[in-house]
Amino acid sequence: MAATNCSNGSAEEKVKIIIVGAGFAGFACAIESKLKGHDVILLEKFPKLKILGDIISFGANAGRIFERWGWHDRFWPICTHLKTFHLHTWKGDLISAQPLEEIRFGAHQYNGHRGELHEILIDHAQNTLGAGVVVNGERLSADVVVGADGVRSKAREKVLGYFDKPRPSGYAVYRAWFTAKGSGIEEDPMSNYLVEDGDAFYGWIGKDVHFLCSSSKGGRDVSWVITHKDEADIEESWSFPGKMEDVLKIVEDWDPRCAAILSKAPSCVDWKLVYRDPLLTWLSRKARIALIGDAAHPFLPTSAQGASQAIEDGVTIAVNLKLAGKKNAQLALRAFEKMRYPRVRKTQITGETNRDKWHNADEDKVKKDPESVKLFNEEWIMGHNAETYAFEHYAEVAKDIQENGYKLPDLEDDDKAKERVMEAREEYLARAI
Ligand SMILES: Cc1cc2nc3c(=O)[nH]c(=O)nc-3n(C[C@H](O)[C@H](O)[C@H](O)COP(=O)(O)OP(=O)(O)OC[C@H]3O[C@@H](n4cnc5c(N)ncnc54)[C@H](O)[C@@H]3O)c2cc1C
């Protein structure tokens, strides 16, 4: 396992944090913690970066954090720059041509290749945060541990004391990212509009399926995702090589432009989507370990907020620990959960509502009311400033916990989750860590 020591000097009252997992959540927590003067060790299972994944979106709520860190000039040139989203019915009738703004609520939105954007974070960690060391079998200790180890989190089981079993979502996504040149996309009039005038973004919606495709880097690269029904009963979110004949079968009666674009990909992955109910808590019983990012709350891709919320988590922990100090580190984590849990849950639900509004759209109604299927850009999500929010609200939230005691997150109104979570409650309350 590789570790990056992000120590920032020698003040005695520094909070020492171990962060497990160097995805976007772990990096955000490490970078913001370093900025806030904490002592950080960031642990990652993979010693070397592989450029993995395909398109990932960061809303303006994450964008304003990247901008504050001074990263805009590094991110922007490799991002996708979309001007209009052309959305069609499955038959090919245009529903809307939605203008897209690159700046929302005062901050940029960043869409690009996950691996390429992640590489910038890794480079930053290696050049700025400190030297890497290898820890194998060595016991490390800290004031708090942050479990940022992704959707298949081991930290989650340690925190909860039970395995949080995922449920199949009933959907999977075929996804591809490839170079336009040589793929045939430029030559085919059924697909060339995607790459001939900078970056373009097109979508088609039908019963239980939506297909989105875009070009990137001025039309040099193309990516697509097609979400469809899938009954596979798998244990975890996982990706397999996809078969192009299965992909094309989904759109066999659709607007022929869909097959024309899909068939140009040299290969694709079959990414199974599983659900997780909200967890009973993101904190260990004694609030020494906190889960963040996908380890705490995996998102469906249709929210386009998984990575942005992971980043907000990391920033909130760093601010709370700064305000609480070493002696109150547990209080800082409890306040983190209280501040973040309802916001994350509300954002998570948008993944279901967005998908359902596309998958169940009535053709005549959406043609009359294209607003009903437009990409959402709500201020409560995109306008949020996680750093300012934590600075402004920590004192009142901490006071409430001190005066009224810590309470597990309230799931009373969340019928889907309540039953399973309540079963686990007693076991969790008996835990010692
Ligand atoms: C390989 C990969 C490809 C992805 N591709 C896409 C994509 O194309 N589009 C998209 O929207 N989202 C993608 N995601 C998901 C997206 O990156 C996350 O939803 C989001 O960024 C939340 O980030 P996270 O840091 O919480 O989790 P992750 O990004 O999953 O990061 C978790 C990190 O923890 C590390 N880790 C796991 N276990 C341990 C351990 N025991 N010890 C130390 N380190 C550990 C992992 O190696 C990983 O680096 C991908 C995730 C992964 C891991």
Residue-wise pLDDT for 170-195, tens only, equals 899 999 999 999 999 999 999 999 99
270 and 191 in one domain?
yes
Pocket test for ligand 1, best of 1, 42, 44, 48 (most atoms within 8 A of CB): 44
17 in the same domain as 121: yes
Measured distance CA(20)–CA(149) in Å, rounded: 6
Task: Please report whether residue 94 resides in a domain.
Answer: no
Residues 293 and 416 in one domain: yes
Structural domains in the chain (count):
2
Percent of the chain, pLDDT > 90? Answer: 66
Residue 295 CB contacts under 8 Å (≥ 6 apart), including other chains: 21, 25, 147, 148, 149, 150, 151, 153, 155, 156
CATH number of the domain where residue 314 is located: 3.50.50.60
Residues 248 and 281 in one domain: no
Q: Are residues 308 and 349 in the same domain?
A: yes
In a domain, 128, yes or no: yes
Q: Is residue 283 part of a domain?
A: yes
- The answer to which of 8-22, 45-59, 320-334 has the lowest mean pLDDT is 8-22
Note whether 232 and 260 are same-domain residues.
yes
Query: Is residue 97 in a domain?
Result: no
Domain-terminating residue out of 242, 275, 308:
275
- End of a domain among 275, 306, 338? 275
Least confident range from 162-176, 206-220, 289-303: namely 162-176
Residue 302 sits in the same domain as residue 354 = yes
What's the pLDDT score for residue 38?
95
> Do 196 and 114 sit in the same domain of this protein?
no
pLDDT of residue 420: 66
| DSSP code at position 302 | G
Mean pLDDT within 397-414:
88
Judgement on whether residues 53 and 190 belong to the same structural domain of the protein: no
pLDDT for the residue 1: 59
> 158: Cβ–Cβ under 8 A, 6 or more apart, which residues?
147, 284, 289, 433
Q: Is residue 91 part of a domain?
A: no
Residue with CA at minimum distance from ligand 1 atom 50: 53
pLDDT the model gives residue 169: 83
Closest-CA residue to 433 (of 207, 147, 26, 86) = 147
Q: Is 175 a catalytic site residue?
A: yes
Classify residue 126: in a domain, yes or no: yes
| Phi and psi, residue 150, nearest 5° | 80, -175
- Asked if pLDDT for residue 232 goes beyond 80, the answer is no
| 365 and 404 co-located in one domain | yes
41 and 112 assigned to the same domain: yes
3-state DSSP of 380-415? HHHCCCHHHHHHHHHHHHHHHHHHHCCCCCCCCCCH
Whether 185 and 241 map to the same domain: the answer is yes
Q: Are strands 16-20 and 144-147 parallel, antiparallel or unpaired?
A: parallel
Which one of 64, 156, 175, 276 is the catalytic residue? 175
* 144 CB neighbour count, 10 Å cutoff: 24
Could you tell which of 4, 45, 51 is best to mutate to test the pocket of ligand 1, judged by most ligand atoms within 8 Å of the CB? Answer: 45
User: What domain range includes position 230?
Assistant: 167-275
pLDDT tier, 53 (very low <50, low <70, confident <90, very high otherwise): confident
21 domain-assigned: yes
Residue 429, amino acid: L
Any idea what the CATH number is for the domain that residue 239 is in?
A: 3.30.9.30
> Of the candidates 219, 249, 275, which is a domain's last residue?
275
Minimal-distance CA residue to ligand 1 atom 17: 307
Does the residue 228 lie in any domain?
Answer: yes
Report the chain's mean pLDDT, rounded to a whole number.
Answer: 89
Mean pLDDT of 351-365: 88
Cα 186 to Cα 203: distance, rounded to the nearest angstrom: 18
| DSSP-assigned letters across all residues of 58-122 | E-HHHHHHHHHTT-HHHHGGGS----EEEEEETT--EEEEEE--SEETTEE-EEEEHHHHHHHHH
pLDDT score of 4: 54
